[in-house]
Amino acid sequence: MNVVQDFILNQRPAQKQIMTVLRTWVLDLGSHTTEKISYKVPFFYFYGPLCYLNPVPDGVDLSFTQGASLSRTHKLVQQKGRKTVASIRIHSLAELEEHEDEIRRILNEAAILNQYLFNQKKKKK
């Protein structure tokens, strides 16, 4: 078991279920996806920092490091006054399952954006 799995296993039951599913979906993005604990929460990297899982009292936030740059068509994504980070708050496993397709689309868009930004930085060097 790794440190991210350990972190998730130590959460309250509802948060543990939500985080376990989200972790699987993020890791489904491909072999370039890595995970570690940063800032005391699980962070996922895909050509740089992609997203993180933050347990909150009423659920789990799936937060995107480049969330402000995601398409505005995603109604689940909330910026909440932050400059770059935006997140989706999930309150239950049922809610997560109800929005699976949209959350997976958002994850894919975030991954594509990260890869694009990574390649742009590489070109400038």
Confidence at 1, pLDDT banded by 50, 70, 90:
low
What residue ranges define each of the domains in the chain, with the CATH number in brackets?
3-124 (3.90.1150)
Any idea what DSSP says for residue 78?
Answer: B
Computed over every residue of the chain, the mean pLDDT equals 94
Summarised one tens digit per residue, pLDDT across range 91-100 is: 999 999 999 9
Burial of residue 96 (number of CB atoms within 10 Å: 0-12, 13-18, 19+): buried
Q: Percent of the chain at pLDDT above 70?
A: 98
Residue 62 has pLDDT above 90, yes or no: yes
